[in-house]
Amino acid sequence: MRTLRHSVVYNGDSARVGPTTNDQRLVTDFCMKKSDLKRQVTAAIQACLDKKAEELSILEMEKGSGAFTDYFVLCSGTNPRQVQAIADEVELRLKTAGVRPAHVEGYKQGEWILVDYVDFVVHVFSEKARKFYDLERLWKTAKRLEPTELKPKPRVKTATKAKKTVRARGTARRERA
């Protein structure tokens, strides 16, 4: 049985969005957990910061905005070598986490490198290219996030676990007395 999914399918230099079958090469499964996605975006952000990226912005794209991704990570480098080094570090960091980009563009020029992970896209700009393209203005309806907003929230003990812990402590105190 063939199931249909809406996915992004890359073929050489072009991309197509629409229904695909299991027989076609799928870039990613869109059933990724939100916490996994946030961890990956956080790893990309940390990689940018470790390479001294400037003007870091995170945009959470709205569902009906026309964007084919959930997040944009935007940052700048001061020269083409630094722009390439930032993109390299993002790829390396996520590769060690088992995630590879679906597509990379603009690496040779080092003015605007786009690293596409389908669920999020990392844009590494030169200062001049960033001002020219001004993606923050273009996607002004997107929600701006701080890196700390992407960190997964700590797990809260459920009520039954908390009750068991309290009972166990009370039992231990009575046994000692």
Average pLDDT score, the chain: 77
User: Which residue do the tokens 């960091």 mark?
Assistant: 93
pLDDT top residue among 129 and 15: 129
**Residue 21: pLDDT over 60:** no
Pair 19, 70 in one domain: no
How large a percentage of the chain has pLDDT more than 70?
65
Say if residue 25 is in the same domain as residue 47: no
Q: Element (H or E) spanning 137, and its range?
A: helix 135-138
Any idea what the CATH number is for the domain that residue 150 is in?
A: 3.30.460.10
Same structural domain for residues 10 and 45?
no
What number of CA atoms fall less than 13 Å from residue 84's CA on the CB side? 8
Give me the pLDDT at residue 148, please: 79
Task: Note the pLDDT tens digit of each residue in 25-63.
Answer: 344 444 457 778 889 999 999 999 999 999 999 999 877
Does 3 share its domain with 89? no
Q: Are residues 51 and 136 in the same domain?
A: yes
How much is the average pLDDT of 99-121? 94
Domain that holds residue 127: 32-176
93 and 108 co-located in one domain: yes
Residues 49 and 77 in one domain: yes
